[in-house]
Structure 1
Amino acid sequence: MSVFTPLSRPQLETFLEAYDLGRLRDFQGIAAGTENSNFFVSAEKGEFVLTLVERGPTQDLPFFVELLEVLHQAQLPVPFAIPARDGIALRQLADKPALLQPRLAGKHIAEPNAQHCSEVGAFLARLHLATRDRILHRRTDRGMTWMLKEGERLVQGMAPEPATLLGNALKEITQHREAILALPTANLHGDLFRDNAMFEGTHLTGVIDFYNASAGPMLYDVAITLNDWCSGPDGQLQPALANALLAGYARLRRFTPAEVQLWPVMLRIACVRFWLSRLIAAQSFAGRDVLIHDPAEFEQRLAQRQHVTLALPFAL
């Protein structure tokens, strides 16, 4: 189970005394997390998710609280930090920063169809439109600078074939870095995978886990999302799913000519980001009872993205 900081019932009961939620009924750790400790919390006045933030500088947490409040006010289906009776939402529990949020309805979709993908694309466009005119500034700690540094370190221990694949990708990042940074920007989710979205039928009811959110090129967020939602078991992009996601997005925000030109590059960079982070996680948590996603999945996808025929729609 990926709960890095276990909690006892008395600890949680004491924590909840600051809120007006009634008696604690039950709680359980959530096994799906890979970076933070998350718990389902059932109280007399509702169902909630408690997050203990395990990674990253604590000075970034007000950014996440503010971003989610902005998106909540824009009527996007996102969690938001619930303030206690004293008005403070960001609190401490077990010596870790703690956020209590409403538990959103719905369930994760393992095998999405075109309508699911269209909904996800539209959500992403709404997120970008809600923030692009007043971007909340936070630099990602896993951006291109990080990719180049960690990639150069990790490539040294690789077999020849993956080393060549990664080495070429790092050269491409260096070549296109300035053009990518000049693309249209907004706040990004940064990790909108299938396990971070919930549906009732084909209706998107919630998007969670904004702890990789930052300011950056909107196209990067689209590439990250599409690489997960629209890839088949062999890593190949599924055209029907990919076109549905891109159309759902483009109905609300059209892509620019610069984005069209850099689209294949961005798909590959999005693969590099998660290949590297999964390799690092696999090394860091080897032998521990922590959910580790397979790095080979994104190595395979990067190999498949060397020739991209999928085009962006409706370019201006």
Structure 2
Amino acid sequence: MAVFTPVSPEAASALLHKLHLGELIELRGIAGGIENTNYFVTCTAGEYVLTLFERLTAEQLPFYLHLMKHLAHAGIPVPDPQADAHGEILHSVCGKPAALVNRLTGHSQLAPQPVHCAAVGGMLARMHLAGRGFDRQQPNLRSLAWWNETAPLVLPELDASEAALLQAELAYQNHVAESPAYAALPRGPVHADLFRDNVMFEGEQLTGFFDFYFAGVDTWLFDLAVCMNDWCVHLPTGAHDARRASALLQAYEAVRPLTAAERGLLPAMARAGALRFWISRLWDWHLPREAEVLTPHDPQHFERVLRQRVAHPLVPSAYASTCLSE
């Protein structure tokens, strides 16, 4: 959610008029994130978020926008893309593909307690099940193929220890991906970036998931692992928090129990989730793009998470037993 492309009030007003949403009251750029240009838009019809897509193409974008529509209509609290008179939800602003979605209420919970993690786990499972009826297909564009392509670009920037970890983990993940157990994992549309700053709460009430622009068809277990790697870790060290992990996992399984294959591969997918974000943060840190508002994330955080996941594998049953013993 950075600002790469400046949007004038006139350009925003033109889109609002096209969508019959009234007059522009305020347009404010959003700092944070690193992929797209984002603005808060206040108009006479309400509060919205305008996104201009800087990397995704007009051919790729319908998957994300129609997935959000599908989930919103299925009762999952996600932003609903606004359509014009012809039903089109992909627009153009300042020469870039763009979307306008309703702004969710609430705030991000950056210091989650087990109750917040349970809410996220239950809603994530509901989202996975709701996605089964979605008929569009697009792979997770930041999955193993992208890791294999991007790792050589960042390796020259790493010290010997970092390079050894990256190469070893990439080899391990390629090995896992070739296994029959991995092929047996349930799949469907996934968020793939469900961090604390992509979920809204009002108190302990979850009010929405947003920022679906890394979504794609992948294993549900990978999505769950990415989520746990952010919601259930001690940020300074990357170590997992057993109480939060137990709350999230139990709430998820109350809606959609994990299969035996998923239980067996949770440790590997937790490592995969950490590797994915370590590589992408290395890429953004060492090969940044120009933007008016841009703060790249420190890649060392997910290096720490990955080292923790290798040294201390995540085992589903351990969360429940640890939580009960406390």
TM range (shorter): over 0.9
Q: 1:100 & 1:107 partners in 2: Cα distance?
A: 19
The answer to whether the Cα contact below 8 Å between 2:115 and 2:247 also exists between their aligned partners in 1 is: yes
Quote the residue 2:86 is aligned against: 86
Quote the residue 2:212 is aligned against: 210
1:151 maps to a residue whose letter is A
The answer to whether the Cα contact below 8 Å between 2:118 and 2:251 also exists between their aligned partners in 1 is: yes
The answer to whether the Cα contact below 8 Å between 1:181 and 1:217 also exists between their aligned partners in 2 is: no
Quote the residue 1:260 is aligned against: 263
Quote the residue 1:234 is aligned against: 237
Task: Provide the aligned C-alpha RMSD in A.
Answer: 1.8
Does the alignment pair 1:297 with 2:301? yes
Question: Displacement of 1:26 after TM fit?
Answer: 0.9
- Structure 1 residues not aligned, in runs of 5+: none
Quote the residue 2:45 is aligned against: 45
Q: 2:268 & 2:70 partners in 1: Cα distance?
A: 31
Question: Displacement of 1:282 after TM fit?
Answer: 1.1
Question: Displacement of 1:286 after TM fit?
Answer: 6.8
The answer to whether the Cα contact below 8 Å between 1:181 and 1:216 also exists between their aligned partners in 2 is: no
Quote the residue 1:130 is aligned against: 130
Normalised by the length of structure 2, the TM-score is 0.92
Alpha carbons of structure 1 residues 134 and 93: separation in structure 2 relative to 1, 3 Å: closer
The answer to whether the Cα contact below 8 Å between 1:23 and 1:43 also exists between their aligned partners in 2 is: yes
2:242 maps to a residue whose letter is P
The answer to whether the Cα contact below 8 Å between 1:239 and 1:310 also exists between their aligned partners in 2 is: no
Q: Deviations over 1:227-247 (max 9, x none)?
A: 011110211000001111111
The answer to whether the Cα contact below 8 Å between 2:157 and 2:286 also exists between their aligned partners in 1 is: no
Question: Displacement of 1:182 after TM fit?
Answer: 3.3
The answer to whether the Cα contact below 8 Å between 2:270 and 2:314 also exists between their aligned partners in 1 is: no
The answer to whether the Cα contact below 8 Å between 2:184 and 2:261 also exists between their aligned partners in 1 is: no
- Structure 2 residues not aligned, in runs of 5+: 320-326
Question: Displacement of 1:221 after TM fit?
Answer: 0.1
Q: 1:47 & 1:80 partners in 2: Cα distance?
A: 12
Quote the residue 2:323 is aligned against: none
Q: Deviations over 1:103-139 (max 9, x none)?
A: 1100011100001101111111011111235453101
Q: 1:85 & 1:237 partners in 2: Cα distance?
A: 48
SS at match of 1:251: helix
SS at match of 1:290: coil
The answer to whether the Cα contact below 8 Å between 2:67 and 2:134 also exists between their aligned partners in 1 is: no
Does the alignment pair 1:108 with 2:112? no
Quote the residue 2:276 is aligned against: 273
Question: Displacement of 1:147 after TM fit?
Answer: 1.1
Quote the residue 2:322 is aligned against: none
The answer to whether the Cα contact below 8 Å between 1:278 and 1:292 also exists between their aligned partners in 2 is: yes
1:191 maps to a residue whose letter is D
- Bigger mean CA offset, 239-248 vs 54-63: 54-63
Normalised by the length of structure 1, the TM-score is 0.94
1:223 maps to a residue whose letter is A
1:254 maps to a residue whose letter is P
